[in-house]
Amino acid sequence: MRSNDAYIGLPHDVFAFTMIQEFVARILGCEPGTYKHFVGSLHIYEEHIKKAEGFIAEGYQSTKNFMPPMPSLNPRDELKNLLDLENKIRLGQTIDFTLANDLSSFWADLGRLLFVLAAKKRADTGTVEKIRRSMSSDVYYPYIDSII
């Protein structure tokens, strides 16, 4: 990359690029390999320094808990279903978070996180608590718990 903001851009980019890497690897039927991120200008804007320090102080950045690996089956249909679910959530359609249960556990957890975000925007902690109990992986608990 030519330039990357360490607080706003880098976390998003690493997540997005490694998801794409894993997605393509699953389609090709191979292992993803090692991800390397090269940046010509990695920086942080002064207005984000306090927020970045707060993020680091949270302690949620464990190097021991990883997001579960994407299932080895071809992920195209699962991604399409997740995107359909995301579109319904974005449009504010009344849907139940258990609709994510139609996806495999990896993709269902991502769908449930979309429901968590929507519930957070509504300040609906009761729904967030229900969603937390339905998660397949506990790696997402620190984020969910920060909302409850």
- The 10s digit of each residue's pLDDT in 14-62 is 999 999 999 999 999 999 999 999 999 999 999 999 999 988 887 666 6
Q: How far apart are CA 90 and CA 76, in angstroms?
A: 21
Q: Is the pLDDT of residue 8 over 70?
A: yes
pLDDT of residue 43: 95
Structural domain boundaries of the chain?
3-58, 76-147
Q: How far apart are CA 97 and CA 115, in angstroms?
A: 6
pLDDT of residue 115: 92
- Beta-bridged to residue 5, according to DSSP, are 43
Q: Is the pLDDT of residue 117 over 90?
A: yes
Q: How far apart are CA 148 and CA 140, in angstroms?
A: 13
pLDDT of residue 4: 93
- Among residues 137, 134, 70, 141, which one has the least CA distance to residue 96? 134
Count the Cβ atoms, other than its own, within 10 Å of residue 34. Answer: 6
- The 10s digit of each residue's pLDDT in 55-88 is 888 766 666 778 899 998 889 999 999 999 999 9
pLDDT of residue 73: 84
